[in-house]
């Protein structure tokens, strides 16, 4: 009986993760600008992977699976925000982002202090 409960919980976690990843894919297609897409796909994709990993760990119920899923979650939480920030910064510096839509632009101030001149 408890195996069925763990399998059901694991299935629910995997389903929630799949829905979050699908939401990120829809946002990738629907959002118009690069910075909006980066914001919309990073958060649900990371949460989706966390839920899928937790669902796999709960379903398999072995120590190596739990350890591997925790490693996957830790690496995803460490790398996804950094890579999204670097891609957004590169898009800004190369002129691919629309600066007129930004409410606050701290990067422009920092780059100007460093001697970078933005292409117009």
**Domain ranges, ordered by start, for the chain:** 2-113
| CB-based contact 74:89 (threshold 8 Å) | no
Does the structure show a pLDDT above 60 at 120? no
What pLDDT score does 98 carry?
A: 73
| CB-based contact 48:17 (threshold 8 Å) | yes
Look at residue 28 and give its three-state secondary structure. Answer: helix
Helix (H) or strand (E) holding 108: helix 106-113
What pLDDT score does 4 carry?
A: 92
pTM of the predicted structure, to 2 decimals: 0.81
């Amino acid at each position: 009986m408890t195996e069925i409960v763990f399998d059901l919980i694991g299935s629910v976690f995997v389903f929630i993760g799949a829905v979050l990843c699908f939401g990120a894919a829809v946002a990738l297609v629907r959002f118009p600008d690069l910075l909006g897409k980066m914001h919309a796909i990073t958060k649900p994709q990371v949460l989706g992977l966390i839920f899928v990993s937790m669902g796999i760990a709960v379903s398999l119920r072995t120590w190596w699976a739990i350890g591997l899923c925790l490693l996957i979650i830790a690496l995803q939480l460490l790398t996804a925000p950094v890579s999204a920030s670097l891609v957004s910064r590169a898009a800004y510096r190369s002129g691919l982002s629309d600066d007129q839509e930004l409410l606050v632009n701290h990067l422009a101030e920092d780059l100007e202090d460093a001697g970078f001149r933005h292409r117009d």
